[in-house]
Structure 1
Amino acid sequence: MAEARFNDISIVSCGTMSLELNFLKKEGFLDTPQILYTRPGLHQDTPELERQLVRQIEQAKQKTPYVLVVYGGKFCYVNIDQPTRLMQTIITEQGPSVARIEATHCMDMIASEAEREQIAAEAAGGEPVWWMTPGWIKFRKDVFKGWDKGLANENFPKHTGGAIVLDGVGYMDDFMAENPETFLEYSDWMGIPIIPWPVSLDRFKRLLLDQAEILHAR
């Protein structure tokens, strides 16, 4: 994989991806001067998502000439009042020094659709799967803010293959060892088994590098 160059790029990301981004910064892949986060779970509050995202981008611009946004393009921002206003609309409005990772949502940043299909076939026999990243475990109260057991019953049980957590940072091993009761309570609340699935962060790295190259070419 090509050598990373993020020393003149700030990262602005949904807090759900903080585990992966902090991991990459700690290991030295991301030599970015700063990573700024919006609150996890804002896909349920698009006006607040836009406010926090724009504010963090503006702050990021004060420190570096380029900004890379780590947000999905299709599912993270759905504006019911303005259906034609997309995540990419917001990014474009911020100017040519701002780019966004090319992925539909956080799970797609970690594993492509084809890779997820392969994992589902192996782990769940091809049954419907509810996909998550470790951030969906750590920030459960934010990601599922306002969800009661009734809403959970409407959404999760139809995913008969269970909930698969695409874990590229080893979070789930520690979580299950240190918080076994919380893990079981989470699974019980969802009404489906939660299946940790170790993956690499190679796809995530490549997607970040792709946008760094695009920014530097502008």
Structure 2
Amino acid sequence: MTTLSQLSKDLIGVLLLMLFGYCFFFVDINTNDLAIPASLLNVNSIFLSIVLEAIPFILLGVFASALIQVFVSEEFIQRLIPKNPYIALLPAVLVSALLPVCECAIIPVIRRLLKKGMPLHIGIVILVGAPILNPVVFAATFYAFQSNTFIVYSRMGLAVVACLLIGLSVYFFFKNSNQLRHVHVHEHEEANVGNKLKQTLYHAGD
């Protein structure tokens, strides 16, 4: 029953996507005849631009998540993370500053790392830190305020402090509880997916 319900939802989603694609490419709407308000058209343009801009980054995060699932073991992650939960915040901030990803791409990556055994507060630090500390953001901020580097380094410093405070708060309230324990994710049988490339594509599809 659950499988049938899931298939119905998937089918509806695919049909809606096909309808949207058909309207987007083939339907020519005469806005003068329909008298569509300019504000509504503006909202539509902004919505489409955000979707089209975000999709490549979301796909990047999805495939990075799939690669982590296939090639990174739980034991490897446990070896990398310091045992002390407070000291572990520092390398988490460093990782955030090195990942050139935005808030779209980092979500599936962190979700997969949490399922692999990364402590919740470490994952949250990387989740909130990567979009505001990554090299692209630093370079853009430096270019915008190159005449006043105090603003550049103050901004990055405040971002680091904010990440640490958020990580400490999450650890204080949740400790290392697995917040994904109630999320159902369909996992493919390893015996049925063949080599590593096929496994990566299957997990990216999930």
TM-score bracket for this pair, using the shorter chain length: under 0.3
Q: Taking structure 2 as the reference length, what is the TM-score of the superposition?
A: 0.28
Q: Taking structure 1 as the reference length, what is the TM-score of the superposition?
A: 0.27
Greater Rg, structure 1 or structure 2?
2
Point out the structure with the larger strand share. Answer: 1
